[in-house]
Amino acid sequence: MAASVDTARAALDRVDPTRPVEALPLLREAQEHVIRAIDEAMAAAVTTEGTTIRTAGLLAGLTENAVGPRLARTRLLAAYRSESGRVTAAGVERARYDLEEGRHRTIAPDGQSAPLRFRARRTT
């Protein structure tokens, strides 16, 4: 999470508010890193601090249904996602148990973790 926050800060530091066209890609880069930091913070909150998925979503300004897929994109909980590509309460409980027992599994999130982007249907 710290690396994402630092990278977002660096992107924001390069933004020149008087040049909006040049600022947009940097703002987008910062946004992506902030989103990644939020996801990692939610994963840490539900596994190490005992927060519920619902509470983590509420604190992040998200609905409960939006949290599961985002948790599945994190290093901490990617190994505990269901077949549907989301982390459920059962996955969180298993991750907590594995952490307590010293058997926590980590895998790198797959390529599906990239945020959704707008793609124009037409070039006109």
Judge if pTM exceeds 0.85.
Answer: no
Residue 110 φ/ψ, nearest 5 degrees: -75, 180
DSSP 3-state assignment of 52? Answer: coil
Is residue 120 situated within a structural domain? no
Residue 82, domain extent:
2-103
The number of angstroms, rounded, from the C-alpha of 112 to the middle of its chain's C-alpha atoms is 12
Is residue 48 within 8 Å of 26, Cβ to Cβ?
A: no
Q: Which amino acid would we find at residue 30?
A: A
Number of domains in the chain: 1
- Domain membership flag for residue 116: no
Task: Specify if 84 maps to a domain.
Answer: yes
C-alpha to C-alpha distance for 48 and 109, rounded to whole angstroms: 19
**Helix, strand, coil percent values for the chain (each to nearest 5):** 60, 0, 40
Give 23-80 pLDDT, tens digit per residue. Answer: 999 999 999 999 999 999 999 999 999 999 999 999 999 998 999 999 999 999 999 9
